[in-house]
Structure 1
């Protein structure tokens, strides 16, 4: 129910709203110290009315950062490939799920994410504790569990709209908090400082 409410608000955004928010979001995110120091960033390509990521991905690449993007596997886990610019993406439809933009190059395996200094996560909301509400598919829960098993500690940052930073979201036992949320107007920090 909560997911549907956040998606309904996003679905009312115009293309101009999404474009303006994406530019502001990239500007805010690029101010993060962890992104300034990162050599490898695991990210994703936004779709539809998600907070836009392409400007941020291109800015990171221009800085010489290795950007990893996910490719959805049949079991909802994520494989990874390198982002080589917008031309290196293909729109892939996964059954009845939304179409995603995925890297067309070599697949690096699900464990490639453990090399990331920063993981940029999609979400629908985050609360005051840093708990992220995802879309419910579990793909990023698997990523976070994989990082924990590997004893990898990248900065975890969720990219959202301003109205999606809320007081409380429901959590399950396996949920892990993020360290920060970036919105078009600012950065919200949780737990460990960035």
Structure 2
């Protein structure tokens, strides 16, 4: 299973790398519109998101769009053990380079449990199985800890993964600890999954 996931990740990352900057920019703008509609539909006041990097589906337009709507946005801060602390997004000028090429907010740290107060958690990922909502992450484990924390807190947060359209992949390899999300958001559509399916 580990080898299957590794091979799948390699294929998906290669496909992302092959996209042109123009394609990425267009997808980021469309994804911001799709994700905002999802956030507003569930009445979220606080959203945990992330600053996209490299070939990930772009979140910069989305972060500013959410903030312009008066929605509190929490962004991750990578800790030395790869767990995630959180801080408020106060605009692009308040982001600073961090390890692994990440951009992180410079404001006060809110603690690893701050994510449990979010109404929506927008997760990075490489793919989602459209049949059951199972998500394939990058394999670093940081978001596995976030999801476990949300489970332990019985958090009502809606979980959604931001993807490119081609990353809805039937039959993804999964392991016992993999958890389904509530929605997969792409530049052209939102697919929702029944809770506790």
Task: Place the TM-score, normalised by the shorter chain, in its bin.
Answer: over 0.9
1:144 paired with 2:147, answer yes
**Structure 1 runs (4+) greater than 2 angstroms displaced:** 33-36
Match of 1:183 among 183, 186, 189: 186
CA distance in 2, matches of 1:92, 1:110: 17
Corresponding residue for 1:105? 107
Q: Corresponding residue for 2:59?
A: 53
Q: Cα offset for 1:51?
A: 0.4
Please tell me whether residue 43 in structure 1 is matched to residue 49 in structure 2: yes
1:83 equivalent to 2:89? Answer yes
Is the Cα–Cα contact under 8 Å of residues 34 and 118 in structure 1 kept in the other structure?
A: no
How well do the aligned residues superpose, as a CA RMSD in angstroms? 1.4
Which structure 2 segments of 5+ residues have no match?
1-6
1:62 deviation in Å?
Answer: 0.7
Structure 1: gaps of 5 or more residues: none
Aligned equivalents of 1:133, 1:189: Cα separation in 2: 16
Higher helix share: 2
Q: CA deviation at 1:91?
A: 1.5
Number of residue pairs matched by the alignment: 189
CA deviation map 1:76-127 (0-9, x unaligned): 110000000101111212xxxx311111111111000000000000000000
1:169 partnered with 2:175:
no
- Using the size of structure 2 for normalisation, the TM-score is 0.92
The answer (yes or no) to whether the contact 1:157–1:179 under 8 Å persists in 2 is yes
1: CA distance, partners of 2:164 / 2:150? 26
1:169 CA drift (Å): 1.1
Contact 1:130 1:177 in 2 (8 A): yes
Partner of 1:117: 119
2:102 aligned counterpart, secondary structure: strand
User: CA–CA distance in 2 between the matches of 1:4 and 1:34?
Assistant: 34
Could you tell me how far apart the structure 2 residues matched to 1:91 and 1:16 are? 24
Q: Deviations over 1:32-62 (max 9, x none)?
A: 1556611110000100110000111111101
